[in-house]
Chain A
Amino acid sequence: MTLETVGFWVVATVLLASSLAVVLTPNLFHAVLYLAAALVATAGVFLLLEQPFLFAVQLLLYAGGVVTIVVFAIMLTERLVGERIAQTSRHVVNGAIVAAAVFVGIVGFLIGAPLGAPRPAGTVDTTAAIGRALVGPFAVTLELLGVLLVVALLGALYFARSEE
């Protein structure tokens, strides 16, 4: 077993366990914490795939950003209600069946796919390559993303401010 194999199994276990906990725990706040764990584990996957830049972005935006916003929303809403929100699930059996069917379906497609290609040697510096792609061929897409972020900010502000 190489270090990479060990790392993969550790990260995969953490990721799957915390993902399951996200959808199963009755406590909403705990669910968010598990999500944070799952997101950090995903960052670990990126590290295993030798993408330190995406590792950092994942931590910064997802674990630092998304989790913070969600926690903030939970705190705010619970304070408005004045009680702890228990979260319940419904149609658990049906949901499990559908999710399992989707998984089996995906795996069915994967089995037939030619995926045996070995991992090519890592390029030296993907960070620079990403940067060049962002301001090169994907420059217009990046600009569009900028508009999208501004619009999302505008929309979030519109809802969050109270005028009445």
Chain B
Amino acid sequence: MIGLPAYLILGALVFSIGLFGVLTRRNAVGILLGIELMLNAVNINLVAFARFNGDVAGLVFTLFTISITVAEVAVGLAIVIAIFRVRRTVEADRLDLLRG
């Protein structure tokens, strides 16, 4: 039988991988993908806890995080497209008009 710790460690791994992506990617969309992975880890955690605690609130929470993520992604990509219109780049470290 697979226990709760296995799911939590799976979540932690996905979270760390996502964090790695956020830290290392230069491209804004690439960073966004890392954030998606991190949020995915949140959902794994929530569902696993809800299942093992026998509680419905975690499942509701998951629904909310999923919906909020989609909203966030939509806004973020709209910003990416807007920045493309003016700058023609989404490399995060070429965005250096503002500094220091």
Contact = CB atoms under 8 A, between A and B. Distances in A.
Q: Do chains A and B touch in the complex (CB under 8 A)?
A: yes
Interface of A: 2, 4-5, 8, 12, 15-16, 19-20, 22-23, 28, 31-32, 35, 38-39, 42, 45-46, 48-51, 53-54, 57-58, 61-62, 65-66, 69-70, 72-74, 76-77, 80-81, 85, 87-92, 94-96, 98-100, 102-103, 106-107, 110, 115-120, 122-123, 126, 129-130, 133-134, 138, 141, 145, 148-149, 152-153, 155-160, 162
A115 B8 CA distance: 10
B8 A138 contact: no
Given A42-B44, A66-B70, A66-B73, A57 B20 contact: no
Contacts of A50: 51
A54 B77 contact: no
B1 A5 contact: yes
7 contacts: A28-B30, A39-B36, A95-B20, A99-B17, A103-B16, A110-B8, A119-B4
Interface of B: 1-10, 12-21, 23-27, 29-30, 32-34, 36-37, 40, 43-44, 47-48, 50-52, 54, 56-57, 59-60, 62-64, 66-75, 77-82, 84-85, 88, 90, 93
A119 B52 contact: yes
A51 to B, nearest CB: 6
A162 B63 CA distance: 33
Contact of B40 (A42, A51, A99, A133): A42
Of A94, A115, A118, A120, chain B has the most CB atoms within 10 Å of the CB of: A115
Given A42-B44, A120-B52, A54 B63 contact: yes
A130 B61 CA distance: 10
Nearest to B8: A110
Nearest to A65: B70
A133 B21 contact: no
A23 to B, nearest CB: 3
Contact of A115 (B5, B59, B60): B5
B19 to A, nearest CB: 5
Given A96-B20, A110-B12, A153-B71, 14 more contacts: A19-B17, A22-B33, A31-B33, A38-B40, A45-B44, A53-B59, A73-B29, A89-B30, A98-B23, A102-B15, A130-B63, A133-B56, A134-B63, A152-B71
